[in-house]
């Protein structure tokens, strides 16, 4: 194995991220050059990695009547949305703000589904006026309000009801959503009655059924179990005279952060379609809402090492990216690999916690990592394409990072670094 191949071998993430000539690259772009040119912290995404993640789903669903709706909460930057809109994806949205983002990139509104337990009347009006494809409704009370809002606008809202299949996705409790006791969806036992209620409401047209059991799922079994539970319901709902035109299986497929081994999207769908066919539902229209698995491994966050701080109990490597840029470790104890952009020879290195400048003990990006770096070096936090920038905050009045989209030889700045003035723009001082 050549040196760069050896260095690259252990990297989680898309094959577009690799060492070449002693420097980490994303596609054709040297991440050392990008960090110097654009400053840090800096998110860099590979368009090819996103499209190849999408291609795995397209391959798995080939020949079927299927719509892929990118769950844009994973990364809703306009330049990222453009990639998926141009590739023919629809979008799974959860707010009026996300709807405006789809409109901004010229996405197809008929391919938009609106999920979430707390849609406001104003958001319902906005989505009805935009003529979106479907509302994924999460409670009986929401059905009533949606019908009322639609009737007042002289419209009929297309609806799917999110059912809670009560299966354990075996993932972090904060990101498992399909168990009893989660706020999401309606209980399996109540679903038929709620469908009958929906069918009786004049402002609604029942079109589908949906479920979403959690995120970062690395096993096929919970998906098969959820599918069985949903198909049982489809049978009873249709037997009650309510046709179900589409089935939406949500998102949730995991990615490799460390030593995770999720099934490939095409393999997952091969197994799911076999079950669907065996149960006689292979010709139904399918919808899916993947987020993380389309973008997570397509992005990195570059940061500069500011200081090394050896200590009696722990060593710290202080970088210029923090929990406001990369909130997943603080929120879910999540693991992101952290690697030097230009690995050094001959430096002994140390085991350290990689932390940011934010004034919180919870501001850590990696714990007990072995790193051979010096101040001024750049590191790359891997698998940072999903749920990083979209969850970033301005805590400590830190501006949000800049973002680049790499497309072969081209590098596009898709978000400028946020200034303090940007952050203060909507604030007002009290007049004296
Ligand atoms: N559909 C619905 C209704 C969802 O609630 C979600 C994610 C998705 C689709 C997309 O799931 P994905 O394919 O990305 O797993 N911030 C957490 C993840 C929260 C996921 C919330 N819902 C994290 O950083 O791990």
CATH number of 128's domain: 3.20.20.10
**Residue 324 has which token pair?**
């406001």
Quick one: average pLDDT of 55-73? 98
Residue where a domain terminates, one of 290, 316, 350: 290
Pocket test for ligand 1, best of 289, 290, 389 (most atoms within 8 A of CB): 289
Counting residues of the chain whose pLDDT is more than 90, the rounded percentage is 90
Q: Cβ neighbours of residue 100 under 8 Å, at least 6 residues apart?
A: none
Residue where a domain terminates, one of 258, 290, 322: 290
pLDDT of residue 2: 46
Residue 279 near residue 59, CB atoms below 8 Å: no
**Residue 100 has which token pair?**
């405006």
**Closest alpha carbon to 230 in 163, 289, 144:** 163
Quick one: average pLDDT of 169-195? 80
Residue 319 near residue 334, CB atoms below 8 Å: no
What is the phi/psi pair of residue 396, to 5°?
A: 65, 25
Looking at the domain assignment, is residue 21 inside a domain?
yes
Residues 38 and 173 in one domain: no
Residues 400 and 327 in one domain: yes
Looking at the domain assignment, is residue 254 inside a domain?
yes
Residues 167 and 277 in one domain: yes
Residues 328 and 239 in one domain: no
**What is the pairing mode between strands 246-248 and 285-288?**
parallel
Mean pLDDT across the chain: 95
Q: For the segment 194-226, what is each residue's pLDDT rounded down to a tens digit?
A: 999 999 999 999 999 999 999 999 999 999 999
Pick the range with the lowest mean pLDDT from 10-14, 19-23, 167-171.
167-171
pLDDT of residue 175: 64
Give the residue numbers spanning the domain of 351: 4-47+297-424
- Which residue, chain included where needed, has tokens 């906005």? 126
Quick one: average pLDDT of 122-138? 98
Residues 262 and 193 in one domain: yes
- Which residue, chain included where needed, has tokens 């898709």? 414
pLDDT at 17 over 70: yes
Residues 304 and 368 in one domain: yes
Q: Cβ neighbours of residue 59 under 8 Å, at least 6 residues apart?
A: 265, 266
- pTM for the full predicted model: 0.97
Looking at the domain assignment, is residue 84 inside a domain?
no
Looking at the domain assignment, is residue 392 inside a domain?
yes
Residue 285 DSSP code: E
pLDDT of residue 178: 61
Instruction: Name the residue at shortest CA distance from atom 7 of ligand 1.
Output: 215
How far is residue 266's CA from residue 124's CA, in Å, rounded to a whole number?
34
Residues 316 and 260 in one domain: no
Q: How far is the CA of 419 from the centre of ligand 1 (A)?
A: 29
Instruction: Name the residue at shortest CA distance from atom 24 of ligand 1.
Output: 387
pLDDT of residue 346: 86
Residue 84 DSSP code: H
Residues 39 and 132 in one domain: no
Structural domains of the chain, count: 2
Catalytic residue, chosen from 89, 211, 317, 359, is 359
Q: How far is the CA of 297 from the centre of ligand 1 (A)?
A: 15
359 among known catalytic residues: yes
Looking at the domain assignment, is residue 61 inside a domain?
no
Q: Cβ neighbours of residue 47 under 8 Å, at least 6 residues apart?
A: 27, 83, 298, 405, 406, 407, 408
Q: How far is the CA of 35 from the centre of ligand 1 (A)?
A: 29
Query: Which atom in ligand 1 lies closest to the alpha carbon of residue 177?
Result: 5
Instruction: Name the residue at shortest CA distance from atom 23 of ligand 1.
Output: 387
Query: Which atom in ligand 1 lies closest to the alpha carbon of residue 388?
Result: 24
How far is residue 57's CA from residue 264's CA, in Å, rounded to a whole number?
9
Residues 352 and 286 in one domain: no
How far is residue 296's CA from residue 13's CA, in Å, rounded to a whole number?
8
Q: How far is the CA of 14 from the centre of ligand 1 (A)?
A: 20
CATH number for the domain including 316? 2.40.37.10
Residues 286 and 305 in one domain: no
- Kindly list the distances between the CA atom of residue 358 and the CA atoms of 176, 177, 321, 322, in Å, as whole numbers in the listed order: 28, 30, 9, 6
**Closest alpha carbon to 335 in 265, 383, 287, 270:** 383
Any residues with Cβ below 6 Å from ligand 1, and which?
Answer: 71, 74, 92, 115, 175, 177, 212, 215-216, 250-253, 289-293, 328, 332, 387
Looking at the domain assignment, is residue 69 inside a domain?
no
Residues 236 and 342 in one domain: no
How far is residue 300's CA from residue 320's CA, in Å, rounded to a whole number?
14
Phi-psi region of 276 (alpha: psi -120 to 50; beta: other; left: phi over 0): alpha
Instruction: Name the residue at shortest CA distance from atom 8 of ligand 1.
Output: 251
Q: For the segment 69-85, what is each residue's pLDDT rounded down to a tens digit?
A: 999 999 999 999 999 99
Residues 259 and 131 in one domain: yes
pLDDT of residue 193: 97
**Closest alpha carbon to 43 in 373, 336, 265, 261:** 336
Residue where a domain terminates, one of 248, 264, 290: 290
Looking at the domain assignment, is residue 102 inside a domain?
no
Pick the range with the lowest mean pLDDT from 5-14, 233-242, 295-304.
5-14
Chain centre to alpha carbon of residue 54? 13
Looking at the domain assignment, is residue 76 inside a domain?
no
Q: How far is the CA of 291 from the centre of ligand 1 (A)?
A: 6
H-run or E-run covering 5: helix 3-9
**What is the pairing mode between strands 66-71 and 90-93?**
parallel
Residue 413 near residue 369, CB atoms below 8 Å: no
How far is residue 43's CA from residue 74's CA, in Å, rounded to a whole number?
14
Quick one: average pLDDT of 301-315? 96
- Which residue, chain included where needed, has tokens 């909460």? 73
């Amino acid at each position: 194995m050549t040196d760069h191949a050896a260095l690259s071998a252990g990297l989680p993430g898309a094959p577009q991220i690799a060492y070449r000539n002693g420097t980490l690259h994303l596609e054709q772009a040297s991440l050392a050059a990008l960090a110097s040119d654009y400053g840090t912290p800096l998110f860099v995404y590979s368009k090819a990695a996103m499209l190849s993640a999408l291609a795995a789903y397209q391959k798995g669903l080939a020949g079927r009547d299927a719509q892929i709706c990118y769950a844009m909460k994973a990364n809703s930057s306009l330049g990222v949305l453009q990639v998926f809109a141009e590739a023919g994806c629809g979008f799974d949205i959860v707010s009026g703000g996300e709807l405006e983002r789809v409109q901004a990139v010229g996405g197809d509104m008929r391919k938009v589904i609106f999920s979430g337990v707390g849609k406001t009347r104003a958001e319902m009006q906005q989505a009805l006026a935009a003529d979106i494809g479907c509302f994924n409704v999460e409670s009986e009370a929401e059905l009533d309000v949606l019908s009322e809002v639609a009737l007042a606008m002289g419209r009929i809202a297309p609806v799917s009801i999110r059912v809670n299949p009560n299966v354990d996705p075996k993932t972090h409790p904060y990101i498992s959503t399909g168990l009893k006791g989660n706020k999401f969806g309606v209980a399996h036992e109540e679903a038929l009655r709620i469908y009958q209620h929906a069918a009786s409401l004049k402002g609604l047209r029942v079109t589908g059924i949906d479920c979403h059991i959690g995120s970062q799922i690395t096993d096929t079994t919970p998906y098969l179990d959820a599918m069985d539970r949903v198909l049982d319901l489809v049978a009873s709902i249709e037997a009650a005279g309510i046709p179900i035109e589409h089935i939406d299986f949500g998102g949730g497929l995991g990615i490799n952060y460390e030593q995770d081994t999720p099934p490939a999207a095409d393999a997952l769908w091969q197994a799911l379609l076999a079950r669907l066919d065996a149960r006689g539902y292979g010709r139904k229209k399918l919808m899916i809402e993947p987020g993380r698995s389309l973008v997570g491994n397509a992005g990195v966050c570059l940061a500069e090492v500011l200081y090394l701080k050896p200590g009696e109990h722990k060593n710290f490597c202080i970088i210029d990216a923090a929990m406001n840029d990369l909130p997943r470790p603080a929120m879910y104890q999540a693991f992101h690999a952290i690697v030097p952009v230009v690995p050094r020879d001959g430096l002994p290195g140390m085991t350290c916690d990689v932390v940011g400048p934010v004034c919180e003990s919870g501001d850590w990006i990696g714990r007990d990592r072995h790193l051979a770096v010096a101040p001024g070096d750049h590191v790359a936090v891997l698998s940072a394409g999903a749920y990083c920038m979209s969850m970033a905050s301005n805590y400590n009045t830190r501006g949000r990072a800049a973002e680049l989209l790499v497309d072969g030889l081209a590098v596009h700045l898709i978000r400028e670094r946020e200034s303090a003035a940007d952050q203060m723009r909507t604030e007002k001082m009290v007049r004296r």
